[in-house]
């Protein structure tokens, strides 16, 4: 995924690990040669329109909102259809309240009416208050979560790894995050919830306690599920 970061001095463009404390705890409980956090691509303001989410300082948010307002004003001057105009007017009022478009609560029909346009604040926006700017790592974790992404874990052996996926991803879709062959040959997913894993004190202990479940293709992955995929070889 891509996160556009604006006005956060401690976060530079490039690949970044999402340093979630739960990954550290997992690595304490399961022996593996290395720990691999989920990674995201950080882009600057010039990549805002292509990013999945935006992390912006409170001070810089006004500039993004102004860009969207200017676009709406230009568009309204070009005689849009009645359906589009109604949505643009609604968004204009929302933005003038210094709120990003992503919090406007548009219906599916309203989203479709303006889908052809590239707005800066239509995607999930995480706003960093001044007091939070001193902890870039925590801000990245928050932006990741608030943008609609979660992780699942594969553990043991070569590495303990967190794999980023969107909320609502099914087990068979999650397999493709590792390799398309897992999606194609999917049989079952062996799943231990993170809470059961922690409560039991480890993966082996959770299995002994009967906390591992067999889930099918349509199982919706939960944040930090521990997963082992069974596949046809």
Does 185 lie in the same domain as 113?
Answer: no
pTM for the whole structure: 0.86
Q: Which tens digit of pLDDT belongs to each residue from 198-228? A: 999 999 999 999 999 999 999 999 999 999 9
Specify if 9 maps to a domain.
yes
pLDDT level of residue 16 (50, 70, 90 thresholds): very high
Closest CA to 226 of 216, 213, 209, 208: 213
Q: Which tens digit of pLDDT belongs to each residue from 146-175? A: 999 999 999 999 999 999 999 999 999 999
β pairing state of 225-231 and 186-192 = antiparallel
**So what's the pLDDT on residue 90?**
96
Mean pLDDT value across residues 6-16 = 94
Does 46 lie in the same domain as 123?
Answer: yes
Domain that holds residue 202: 168-231
**So what's the pLDDT on residue 170?**
98
Tokens 């989203």 locate to 111
Q: Is residue 142 predicted with pLDDT exceeding 90?
A: yes
Does 67 lie in the same domain as 8?
Answer: yes
Closest CA to 143 of 19, 28, 227: 19
Query: Are residues 105 and 125 in contact, defined by beta-carbon separation less than 8 angstroms?
Result: no
**So what's the pLDDT on residue 53?**
94
Does 177 lie in the same domain as 138?
Answer: no
Beta partners for residue 57, in sequence order: 128
Does 199 lie in the same domain as 120?
Answer: no
Q: Which tens digit of pLDDT belongs to each residue from 43-56? A: 999 999 899 999 99
Does 206 lie in the same domain as 118?
Answer: no
Compute the distance between CA of residue 214 and CA of residue 192 in angstroms, rounded to an integer: 9
Give the N- to C-terminal CA distance of the chain in Å, as an integer. Answer: 29
Specify if 137 maps to a domain.
yes
Does 188 lie in the same domain as 136?
Answer: no
Domain-terminating residue out of 82, 116, 146: 146
**So what's the pLDDT on residue 34?**
96
At 91, give phi and psi (nearest 5°): -65, -35
Specify if 152 maps to a domain.
no
**So what's the pLDDT on residue 233?**
76
**So what's the pLDDT on residue 159?**
96
At 30, give phi and psi (nearest 5°): -125, 125
**So what's the pLDDT on residue 79?**
87
CATH of the domain at 193: 3.10.20.30
Q: Which tens digit of pLDDT belongs to each residue from 73-107? A: 999 999 899 999 999 999 999 999 999 999 999 99
Specify if 157 maps to a domain.
no
Mean pLDDT value across residues 94-122 = 93
DSSP characters over the chain: -EEEEES-TT--SEEEEE--HHHHHHHHHS-EEEEE-EEEEEE-GGGGGG-SEEEEEHHHHHHHHHHHHHHHHHHHTT---HHHHHHHHHHHHHHHTT--GGGS---HHHHHHTTTS--SSSS-EEEEPGGGTT-HHHHHHHHHHHTTEEEEEE-SEEEEEEEEEETT-BHHHHHHHH-HHHHHTEEEEEEE-HHHHHHHTSHHHHHHTT--EEE-TTPBP-TTEEEEEEE--
Specify if 83 maps to a domain.
yes
Specify if 102 maps to a domain.
yes
Specify if 184 maps to a domain.
yes
Domain count within the chain:
2
The mean predicted confidence, pLDDT, of the chain is 95
Domain-terminating residue out of 114, 146, 178: 146
**So what's the pLDDT on residue 218?**
96
Compute the distance between CA of residue 53 and CA of residue 1 in angstroms, rounded to an integer: 8
């Amino acid at each position: 995924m891509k996160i556009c970061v604006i006005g956060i001095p401690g976060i530079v463009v490039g690949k970044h690990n999402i340093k979630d404390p739960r990954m550290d705890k997992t690595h304490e409980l399961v022996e593996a040669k290395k720990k691999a956090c989920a990674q995201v691509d950080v882009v600057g303001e010039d990549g805002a329109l292509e990013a999945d989410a935006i992390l912006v300082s409170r001070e810089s948010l006004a500039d993004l909102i102004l860009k969207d307002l200017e676009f709406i004003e230009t568009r309204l001057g070009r005689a849009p259809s009645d359906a589009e105009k109604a949505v643009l007017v609604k968004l204009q009022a929302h933005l003038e309240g210094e709120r990003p478009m992503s919090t406007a609560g548009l219906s599916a029909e309203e989203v479709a009416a303006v889908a052809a346009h590239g707005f800066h604040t239509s995607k999930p926006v995480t706003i960093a208050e001044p007091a939070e700017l001193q902890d870039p790592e925590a801000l990245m974790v928050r932006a990741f979560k608030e943008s609609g992404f979660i992780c699942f874990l594969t553990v043991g052996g070569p590495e303990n790894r967190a794999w980023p996926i969107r909320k609502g991803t099914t087990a068979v879709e999650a397999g493709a995050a590792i390799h398309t062959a897992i999606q194609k040959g999917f049989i079952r997913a062996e799943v231990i919830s993170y809470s059961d894993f922690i409560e039991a004190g480890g993966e082996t202990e959770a299995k002994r306690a009967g906390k591992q479940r067999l889930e099918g293709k349509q199982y919706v992955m939960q944040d930090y599920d521990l997963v082992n995929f069974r596949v046809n070889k």
